[in-house]
Structure 1
């Protein structure tokens, strides 16, 4: 990782200069792409996310998330092999979305509450989309069908649980995780360290943690609301900036011809697996930025609704390279490795997509409402077909290999720079 950290800066500068040249060479298309991204933010993301951002900030101020985190404490060690304080990280991450889980995990590592292996397990399954974005932006804003939030949420958060259970085997042979074992602690212990608190029942202890958090915050409702609005405005502006930035980046890559090759490869894989090739834009866009991929899945035409939801579930779980860049920058300040996180994100995307297909019939039923109409126009058999499952597994396996190859290019280039430097000494 030291080589990666050493040469990541020149590689980033080289990529940014290349993108700058492409933007200068095609100014009009870059401007149009920026305007499209701005329209997505203003028409969909701002009205659907901003009210929920404010509410989530208020819930944090009142200590509701601390209450949930304290309730999750006893489950973290037996299920996921992380200390009880990981319950607080899981609760806050679920409420606030990525990359909050990585930030809180890094803080726990700095304070020596967790080891390196435990931190890598924790950040792998606590990096997820928040329900606000999943329901408000994707289900309502992009798909215009709130009903699919049930399947989408079950697939996404079910995948989180599966990844957490799988990651408990990560580093099983490493007993120390790269540093001395920290003292055992939990969120409830941190918030309720008095002797009387330890004599309380678990539910009362969680209530005590929420009450202590509220007392520690101490802000009146008016100030809490004002700061929640200010914080939510900053966050929604950052979201909009990322959408506009990656819209321009994708347009620049399209003008260079690189995106055409990637689209062709993805469409070929989809066709070979018997899946609709019209999902290409969603998958390719989602590899770079989650909002663009989710929007493309919602507007895809000629595709059965279950496949569109599965594509959105994959995009939400993968997170996009924009989220990966944020998490990598956070992990770079610790000794936590990025590769386990990368593998977990890719696996989460595949698992969530398959869960969306498997759970569609049990959760959505056999109704004849317009929500289910696309099922009967796209050769979807009443019983779940093993052939469709196999085709989906083949496709997502190929896609997983492609994403891992693309994501490791920068690290490979770093080693190449190091080899060239040694060769010319």
Structure 2
């Protein structure tokens, strides 16, 4: 039997198995589905939609092209991507995954990036946003805001290292291509490029805004489907003991790094879905906070199969390959865990145990991260109302456009 037929049989068997599991555990599946929907409704949609809409407007108005000419001399030598990648990097850092993938795919569709450059860019522009690290993980799960500093620093520094490492991706292919030297920087030419890009787009403000809302909501609906699917899948794997079996195998690997085997189940769960893994890791009693932080850093950097599936779905609309992104996530996971080990004593233990509070660095003082925590609480409080209003606006725009067709 050829490999194609074996793949067909395997996929069909997996689908039948999942359908049977849903029928055997209907209540548990419903609870997991509601949990995923709640996360999307209260947090994911309201936190990502504004960034998606604004990014579409910035692209349409030519601002991204303008920034690209300015950032070319920074992004090209460091990451070997065009200057437009700086915009994607900043938006991905601020809004969280999978914003970087969406913007990278958008720039690739507009031919602002080559395939190799897009594959490099997507590997380090998808990261967790600060609100999630400080609000959900550090405060919500571990009840320790200072821990957010270590997790965030390890996460973003690891991401930069991934970008530097992935600059060598596709190097052999680029050697055969003719290299072009960027022209000298000119602010006047940058403004001219901004104007030409807006004229080339040609859409009026109302049309551009409507397209931005529709495109953003469509992407977020897809993301919501993946969140619910993997929330249910994670629960089913736990119920049928697959998670336990995998944790037994993983326990031997964790023992090599002197990490308690009790953290194996949260790590397996976190490989599928970040929030569940983080919640389970925070509740493990037979592990120190340091050990939990190392595992949590790996989970955040790996970003979970749920996020990776969202990224894969977005990249499928282009010729950007998913494999480099997946390899980068594994590399990011180990780098983030390594930096957590390096930073733990100087940035957490020494500061928490100091007898002189005045000696705490500015970036470790409470006021430096309190707005992240407040932002998370506001998101949880008003996120659902924001989602409802935006979905009603989306339906209105869709019906209005259908009436004109």
Same fold (TM over 0.5): yes
Structure 1 residues 235 and 294 mapped into 2: Cα distance closer, same or farther (>3 Å)?
Answer: farther
Deviation, 1:15, is: 2.5
The answer (yes or no) to whether the contact 2:244–2:265 under 8 Å persists in 1 is: no
Instruction: Say whether residues 1:332 and 2:319 are aligned partners.
Output: no
The answer (yes or no) to whether the contact 1:101–1:127 under 8 Å persists in 2 is: yes
Per-residue CA deviation, residues 354-392 of structure 1 (Å, 9 max, x unaligned), is 11111112222424569xxxxxxxxxxxxxxxxxxxxxx
Unaligned runs of 5+ in 1: 190-197, 371-425
Deviation, 1:176, is: 6.4
Deviation, 1:245, is: 3.1
Aligned to 1:133: 132
Aligned to 2:148: 149
Per-residue CA deviation, residues 212-239 of structure 1 (Å, 9 max, x unaligned), is 99xx99979xxx9x99999999888776
CA RMSD, 1 decimal? 4.1
The answer (yes or no) to whether the contact 1:288–1:320 under 8 Å persists in 2 is: yes
Q: TM-score, normalised by structure 1?
A: 0.66
Structure 1 residues 149 and 108 mapped into 2: Cα distance closer, same or farther (>3 Å)?
Answer: same
Aligned to 2:289: 305
Aligned to 2:187: 200
In structure 1, how many angstroms separate the alpha carbons of the residues matched to 2:9 and 2:46? 40
Deviation, 1:21, is: 0.7
Aligned to 1:359: 343
Deviation, 1:50, is: 7.0
Q: What does 1:109-124 correspond to in 2, within 5 Å? A: 109-124=108-123
The answer (yes or no) to whether the contact 2:97–2:129 under 8 Å persists in 1 is: yes
Q: What does 1:343-354 correspond to in 2, within 5 Å? A: 343-354=327-338
The answer (yes or no) to whether the contact 1:313–1:356 under 8 Å persists in 2 is: yes
Aligned to 2:166: 167
Deviation, 1:92, is: 1.7
Identify the range of structure 1 (255-264 vs 234-243) with the bigger mean alpha-carbon deviation.
Answer: 234-243
Identify the range of structure 1 (18-27 vs 6-15) with the bigger mean alpha-carbon deviation.
Answer: 6-15
Q: TM-score, normalised by structure 2?
A: 0.69
Aligned to 1:91: 90
Q: What does 1:280-291 correspond to in 2, within 5 Å? A: 280-291=264-275
Counterpart selection for 1:275 from 259, 262, 275: 259
- Which protein, 1 or 2, shows the higher relative CO under an 8 Å CA cutoff with sep ≥ 6? 2
In structure 2, how many angstroms separate the alpha carbons of the residues matched to 1:228 and 1:115? 24
Identify the range of structure 1 (125-134 vs 64-73) with the bigger mean alpha-carbon deviation.
Answer: 64-73
SS at the partner of 1:102? Answer: helix
In structure 1, how many angstroms separate the alpha carbons of the residues matched to 2:68 and 2:53? 16
Structure 1 residues 71 and 277 mapped into 2: Cα distance closer, same or farther (>3 Å)?
Answer: farther
Aligned to 1:265: 249
Aligned to 1:398: none
In structure 2, how many angstroms separate the alpha carbons of the residues matched to 1:271 and 1:21? 35
Deviation, 1:106, is: 2.2
The answer (yes or no) to whether the contact 1:306–1:360 under 8 Å persists in 2 is: yes
Deviation, 1:114, is: 2.1
Per-residue CA deviation, residues 235-267 of structure 1 (Å, 9 max, x unaligned), is 887766544432321232233332221021122
The answer (yes or no) to whether the contact 2:68–2:82 under 8 Å persists in 1 is: no
> Aligned pairs, how many?
343
Per-residue CA deviation, residues 181-212 of structure 1 (Å, 9 max, x unaligned), is 798889xx9xxxxxxxx74389xx69x979x9
Deviation, 1:278, is: 2.0
The answer (yes or no) to whether the contact 2:51–2:91 under 8 Å persists in 1 is: no
Q: What does 1:8-157 correspond to in 2, within 5 Å? A: 12-34=11-33, 37=36, 41=39, 53=48, 56=51, 72-157=71-156
Aligned to 1:296: 280
Structure 1 residues 142 and 310 mapped into 2: Cα distance closer, same or farther (>3 Å)?
Answer: same
Per-residue CA deviation, residues 74-115 of structure 1 (Å, 9 max, x unaligned), is 211000111112112111211222222222222322322222
Per-residue CA deviation, residues 168-189 of structure 1 (Å, 9 max, x unaligned), is 1112211268xx7798889xx9
Identify the range of structure 1 (297-306 vs 337-346) with the bigger mean alpha-carbon deviation.
Answer: 297-306
The answer (yes or no) to whether the contact 1:113–1:185 under 8 Å persists in 2 is: no
In structure 2, how many angstroms separate the alpha carbons of the residues matched to 1:310 and 1:209? 44
Deviation, 1:318, is: 0.7
Deviation, 1:37, is: 4.9
Deviation, 1:350, is: 0.7
In structure 2, how many angstroms separate the alpha carbons of the residues matched to 1:9 and 1:87? 41
Aligned to 1:388: none
The answer (yes or no) to whether the contact 2:47–2:95 under 8 Å persists in 1 is: no
Deviation, 1:324, is: 1.7
